[in-house]
Chain A
Amino acid sequence: MVAAAALAEAPTHATAGAALDIEQVSHAFDIDGAELPVLSDVSISVEPGEFVALLGPSGCGKSTLLRLVAGLDKPRAGSLREDEVRIIRPHPSRVVVFQDPTLFPWRSVWDNVALGLEAQGILKSQRQRVDDALDLVGLSSFRKAYPYQLSGGMAQRVALARALVNDPRILILDEPLGKLDSLTRITMQAELVSLWQRKGFTTLLVTHDAEEALVLANRVIVFSDRPARVKADIRVDRPYPRHRGDPYLADLRRQILGLLGLDATW
C-alpha cells in the first residue's frame, strides 16, 4: 500500500515490482570432476513488491540462487521467470547489490552510479537520474570522490545508488550489509526499508542474520544445509518501522533459529 502511494507521485520511468517465479530449480557445480549439488528442487513464488529474505546456513547455496535470478548463471534444471518471462540472461530490471560494494575504483562516485545508464546507452538524455539516485542515498556531496576515499558504509550506499538508478523491478541483495559495522548496519537497514517502501520494487535479500531478516522482510524463507531446499516459508505481518525488541519478532526468531538447528542455545 505504501509502495503504491509512493508510485503515484514517482517520476514516469519508475516501475512497480515484478513477480518472480522460481520453479523446481536445481543447480550443481563441477568441482574437479565431482558434482556438488547446491540447490535441490527449489520453488518460490514472489508477489510483486514483496520483500523476501532468504535465510540459511552460510555456504548453503543462497547466493547461487541469487545469481540464477540475476541471470548470471543458468540453472541445471527448472526455470525462473520474471513476470512470466523466462530469465535467460542479465537484465537491468534485475539488479544485484553484492556483499562487497565492487565499485569501479577508476570511476568517481557519480560515474559509478551512472554505469547502468551508460551501459544501456541512455546516460546522455537521463543524467538527472544519476543525481537523483545520489540524493536518495544522501551522497550528493561525494559525487566527485573516488572509491578509495569512501568508508565501507558510504561505498555500499553508492553501490545501492548504482543499482537503484536503473529503477529495477527486482532488487537482489546478496548480504549487502554483511561487512558493515553494527551501527552503520542498523542505519542502512532502516534506509533500505524506506527505499523499498518509496519505490515499490520486489526485493530479494540473502542474509544469514535472522534478526536482519525479521526487521526488514515481510516474508522469510529458511533454507536447509547444502544442497539448499526450502525448509520454511514464514510471513512476517508486522508494520514498519519494526522494533528489534518486539516480542512477536523475538518469538519468530527463536523459531527460525530452531529450524537452523540452534535451539539448544536459545
Chain B
Amino acid sequence: MSTYSLSDGLASGAPRTSRAPWLATWIRESGVGVLASVAWIAFGLSCLWWEDVGDWSRTHSLGIAALVIAAVALFGTVASDYLGSAGRALHTRAPWLVALGVFLTLWEVATAKFAWLPLPFFPPPQSIIEVYTDDLPKLLDSVFASVKLQLGGYLIGATIGFLTGVSIGWSRAVGYWVHPVLRFIGPLPATAWLPIAFFTFPSSWSASTFLIALATGFPVTVLTWSGVASVSNAYYDVARTLGAKPSFLVLKVAIPAALPHVFVGLFMGLGSSFAVLVVAEMIGVKAGLGWYLQWAQGWAAYANMYAALIVMSLLCSGAITLLFAIRDRLLVWQKGTVKW
C-alpha cells in the first residue's frame, strides 16, 4: 500500500503544487487572518442588517466599529511582512480573533435581532457598550473605590503576613505563641468575621480593609513561614563561616531563599482577598464594583451587571499579571517559572 499510494500521491500532487504553490502558501500564511476579517464583517453586518428588537442607541456605531476592526485585521494580514512585531502579534492571535468574531455575531443575532435568549437577562453587546459610554463616571468611581480598598487591605495584610511568617520561621519563641493562634484563626474564612467587623470598626471602610488584610495575611504568613523553615542549613553554614551575623542570615539568606514560597502565598492571598472585597462591598461598603453590581441588580439593569463583571475580571486578572511580573523580575534566578 505504501509504495503505491506514495507514487500515486507524488504523481497527482506534483502538478498541483507546480501550478499554484503561492496560493497554498498564501492560504497557510494568511488564511486565518482573512477568516478573522470575515468573522468581524459578519458581526458588523449582523448589527446593521436587521432591525433591533429593542431600543438600543449604539447598534449602528458598534456595527461600524466591527467593520473597522475587520478592515484593520485584513490590512494587518496582507501587509504582515511590513509591520514587524505588530504583524507577527496579529498572526499569532488571528485564531482568537476568528473565535471572538463568531461569538459576537452569534450573541448579537441571538439577543438584539431575534431574541432567542430571554431579553432582560441576556443583553446584547451594544447595550453593554452603552453602559461604558453613558454610565462611565459612576463605573469609574466604583473602579477607583474598589482599587483603593483592595490595595490598602492587600498591602497591609501582605506586609503583616510576611513579617509574621519570617518571625515564626526564625524565632522559636515567636513560633510558640503565634502558631496556635494562627492555627485557630487562620482557616476561618475572613467573610465569617463580616457581621462582627461591621459592628466593631468605626467605619465600613476600615472594617473591609481589616477583612481583606485578614484574607491576604493568612496564606502569606503560612507560606512565608514554610519558606523560611525549609531553607537548607547548608546556606546558613556557608554564610556563618564567611562571617555573617544573625541579621545577615535573616535578611540575606532566609528571606531571599524563601521568596518563591512568599510569592505563592501572595498569589493565594490575592485570590481570597478578591472574594472578600466583593462580598464586603455588596454588604457594607457603599462604593466599589461589588456595590455597583448590587445596585444594578436592584434596578434590574442587567447590562450594567455584565459591564461591571467584565471590568472586574479585567482588574483581577490585571492584578495577578502585575504580581507575576514582579515575581518574574525578583526571581529571575529561578528556572522554569509558570508564565501567567
A70 within 8 A of B: yes
Chain B residues lying within 8 Å of A166, measured Cβ to Cβ, are 242-243
Judged by a CB distance under 8 angstroms, whether B10 is at the interface is: no
B110 to chain A, nearest CB (A): 52
- With A104-B256, A148-B335: A72-B242 Cβ-Cβ less than 8 Å: no
B interface majority secondary structure: helix
Residue of A nearest to B234 (CB): A102
**Which residues in window 55-111 of A have CB below 8 A to B?**
70-72, 90-92, 94-96, 98, 100, 102, 104-108
**Is B332 within 8 A of A92, CB to CB?**
no
Shortest beta-carbon distance from B144 to chain A in Å:
37
Report the minimal beta-carbon distance from A105 to chain B, rounded to whole angstroms: 5
Given contacts A72-B237, A102-B234, A118-B252, contact A92 B243 (CB under 8 A): yes
If A104-B256, A147-B333 touch, whether A119 touches B235 (CB-CB below 8 Å) is: no
Q: Kindly list chain B residues whose C-beta atoms are within 8 Å of the C-beta of A90.
A: 240-241, 243
A104-B253, A106-B333, A146-B332 are known contacts. Are A119 and B237 too (CB-CB below 8 A)?
Answer: no
Q: What's the tally of chain B residues with a CB closer than 8 Å to chain A?
A: 23
| CB-based contact B241/A96 at 8 Å | yes
In the complex with contacts A102-B234, A104-B253, A119-B333 CB distance below 8 A: no
Contact with A along B227-254 (1 / 0, CB 8 A): 0000010110111111111001000110
Does residue B145 face the partner (Cβ distance < 8 Å to A)?
no
The number of residues on chain A lying at the interface, defined by a beta carbon within 8 Å of a beta carbon of chain B, is 27
Within 8 A of B (CB), among A99-131: 100, 102, 104-108, 115-116, 118-120
| Contact call B259/A106, Cβ cutoff below 8 A | yes
A176 vs B104: C-alpha distance when bound (angstroms): 65
A-B contact count (CB 8 A): 68
- A219 CB–B CB distance under 8 Å: no
Asked if B65 lies at the interface with its beta carbon under 8 angstroms from chain A, I say no
Q: Is the CB of A98 within 8 A of B238?
A: yes
Contact A162 B333 (CB under 8 A): no
- Give A115 to B252 CA distance when docked, in angstroms: 9
B236's closest neighbor in chain A, by CB?
A72
Q: Which B residues from 190 to 249 make CB contacts under 8 A with A?
A: 232, 234-235, 237-245, 248
Name the residue on A nearest B243 (C-beta).
A92
Determine the distance from Cα of A147 to Cα of B257 in the docked complex, in whole angstroms: 14
Residues of A within 8 A of B234 (CB): 98, 100, 102
Name the residue of chain B whose CB is nearest to the CB of A105.
B333
Give the chain A neighbours of B334 by CB distance below 8 A: 105, 148
Determine the chain A residues whose CB is within 8 A of the CB of B333 once the complex forms: 105-108, 146-148
Given contacts A106-B333, A118-B252, A146-B333, contact A70 B235 (CB under 8 A): no
Task: Convert B326-340 into 0s and 1s, putting 1 for each residue whose CB lies closer than 8 angstroms to a CB of A.
Answer: 000001111100000
**Nearest residue in B to A146 (C-beta to C-beta)?**
B333
A106-B333, A107-B333, A146-B333 given as contacts; is B239 within 8 A of A96 (CB)?
no
- Complexed CA–CA distance, A115 and B240 (Å): 11
A147 nearest in chain B by CB position: B333
Give the nearest-CB partner of B238 in chain A: A102
The answer to whether B256 and A92 have CB atoms under 8 Å apart is no
Name the distance in Å between A211's Cβ and chain B's nearest Cβ: 27
| Chain A contact residues, CB within 8 Å of chain B | 70-72, 90-92, 94-96, 98, 100, 102, 104-108, 115-116, 118-120, 146-148, 162, 166
* 6 tightest A-B CB contacts, nearest first: A116-B242, A92-B243, A119-B244, A106-B256, A90-B240, A146-B333
List chain B positions with a Cβ less than 8 A from chain A.
Answer: 232, 234-235, 237-245, 248, 252-253, 256-257, 259, 331-335
